[in-house]
């Protein structure tokens, strides 16, 4: 089966029709996607800046306690993102900006896994104001760069048709 056939199946699916058939669904999903982004990026920013050392006044345990909020917000964005794709798969699949956004999301996921496996336990033991190690700072810096890239490429999707 060719990729265009797969995209057509996605477009013709229940989810594709759900996204296109009622005028209010697409804007509602855009708002939910934006809310998810805000709920995800704000806590990520707090954690990453704390780990880097720019905001050492933030308690590390308090910052790390935001991880469940980040995961919930990411879930909102994952669901709404999938719905957008099904609503207009030809637009997204061939869009250069969308391709870069998805690549950066995948890299951010690998980076988050590296953080969780390699540094989370160590960071949760840090005293308030104590510096994180170099590897944790690298992971936090990559996290900021990757998610800023995701936001930029996501915003460019409508302009790079």
Cβ atoms of 80 and 29 closer than 8 Å: yes
pLDDT at residue 116 in the model: 94
List of E strands, the chain: none
DSSP per residue over 107-132, as a string? Answer: HHHHHHHHHHHHTHHHHHTPPTTPPP
Identify the segments of the chain with pLDDT beneath 50: none
Query: How many domains, the chain?
Result: 1
pLDDT at residue 94 in the model: 96
pLDDT at residue 134 in the model: 95
Containing 57, the helix (H) or strand (E) segment is: none
Instruction: Give the model confidence (pLDDT) of 42-89 as tens digits.
Output: 999 999 999 999 988 999 999 999 999 999 999 999 999 999 999 999
The angle formed by the CA atoms of residues 149, 68 and 98, to the nearest 5 degrees, is 25
pLDDT at residue 113 in the model: 96
In whole angstroms, give the CA distance from residue 72 to residue 36: 8
pTM for the model: 0.92
pLDDT at residue 135 in the model: 95
Find the domain containing 89 and state its range: 3-159
pLDDT at residue 56 in the model: 86
């Amino acid at each position: 089966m060719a990729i265009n056939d797969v995209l057509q199946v996605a477009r013709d699916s229940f989810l594709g029709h759900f996204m296109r058939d009622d005028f209010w669904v697409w804007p509602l999903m855009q708002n939910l996607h934006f809310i998810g982004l805000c709920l995800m990026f704000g806590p990520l920013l707090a954690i990453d800046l704390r780990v880097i050392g720019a905001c050492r006044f933030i308690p590390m345990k308090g910052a790390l306690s935001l991880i469940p909020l980040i995961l919930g917000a990411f879930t909102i964005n994952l669901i709404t993102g999938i719905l957008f794709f099904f609503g207009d798969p030809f637009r997204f699949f061939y869009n250069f900006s969308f391709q870069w956004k998805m690549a950066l999301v995948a890299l951010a996921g690998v980076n988050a896994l590296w953080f969780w496996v390699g540094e989370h336990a160590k960071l949760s033991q840090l005293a308030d104001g104590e510096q994180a190690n170099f590897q944790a700072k690298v992971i936090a810096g990559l996290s900021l760069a990757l998610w800023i890239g995701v936001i930029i490429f996501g915003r460019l999707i409508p302009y790079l048709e």
